[in-house]
Amino acid sequence: MSIAAKANTLWEYANPRKFLATSERVLPFFWMTSFVCLVVGLTWGFFFTPDDYKQGSTVKIIYLHVPAALMAINCWLMMLATSLVWLVRRHHVSALAARAAAPIGIVMTLIALVTGAIWGQPMWGTWWAWDPRLTAFLILFLFYLGYVALWEAIEDSDTAADLTSVLCLVGSVFALLSRYAVNFWNQGLHQGASVMRAAAITGADTEEKVSNIYFYPLLLCIIGFVLLFIALVLYRTGTEIRARRIKALLARERLNG
């Protein structure tokens, strides 16, 4: 009963009018909180944490690198979810949200790659290494490019939504496959996961994870990036809906005139 009630409230937003009204109401909240989180988190991270004993001040790029990389992957997952919703339930808002998210994902992937290269030059002594994680991100970048290019290439918007959704599903499988294939292909230079470990929940300061001094501002930056991503997707989806409306109005006008 409660699940059914919940599902009803979620699907209400498939109505573009309802979606626009609600997103306009909550958008200022997302913009403000993400702005506050990012300003506080980045200032705290850059100016009020000590230099790492081995990496020096270069460690501070983590406050941009990790959240951007996280969002780059989660953005693709969001596109996968919205593509599935479009294929199953044919809600236009869902397809437009996927379309709106893709360029954000490209930018996040680029931020992760570029900040990684800037950090890698002094630390690893190279801008780029064919490390599994780096390579997988490059492949993800290619997937994003192909996805956006396919959206742009097809004129009929429903056909484009269908085709890109299928591409997103198939691409997800192959992206995952590539991630493990490159693991097999080359040993890694990139450090392992060190942020979201068991110790992060208990708050214990252990060797296996990033030190708490860096962790709290990093957490703030991650929250800021998540909120920023949500705000951008809502905003861009609203733009897409309005663009679609303008097209419909123009078509109607031509028909009448």
Asked if residue 175 binds another protein (CB under 8 A), the reply is yes
* Rounded Cα distance, 168 and 184, in Å: 24
DSSP for 140-185, please give it: HHHHHHHHHHHHHH-SSHHHHHHHHHHHHHHHHHHHHHHHHHHHHH
Asked if residue 39 binds another protein (CB under 8 A), the reply is no
Asked if residue 177 binds another protein (CB under 8 A), the reply is yes
Asked if residue 167 binds another protein (CB under 8 A), the reply is yes
Asked if residue 170 binds another protein (CB under 8 A), the reply is yes
DSSP state, residue 27: H
Determine the 3-state secondary structure of 52 from DSSP.
strand
Between residues 75 and 175, which has the closer beta carbon with respect to another protein? Answer: 175
Q: Compute the residue count for the chain.
A: 257
Between residues 171 and 224, which has the closer beta carbon with respect to another protein? Answer: 171
The interface region with another protein, picked from 2-10, 100-108, 179-187, 236-244 by CB under 8 A, is 179-187
Asked if residue 57 binds another protein (CB under 8 A), the reply is no
Return the axis-axis angle of helices 16-47 and 92-124, rounded to nearest 10°.
10
Q: How far is the CB of 167 from another protein (least distance, A)?
A: 6
Give the Cβ contact number of residue 183 at 10 Å: 14
Q: Which residues bind another protein (CB under 8 A)?
A: 139, 142-143, 145-146, 149-150, 153-154, 159, 162-163, 166-167, 169-171, 174-175, 177-178, 181-182, 184-185
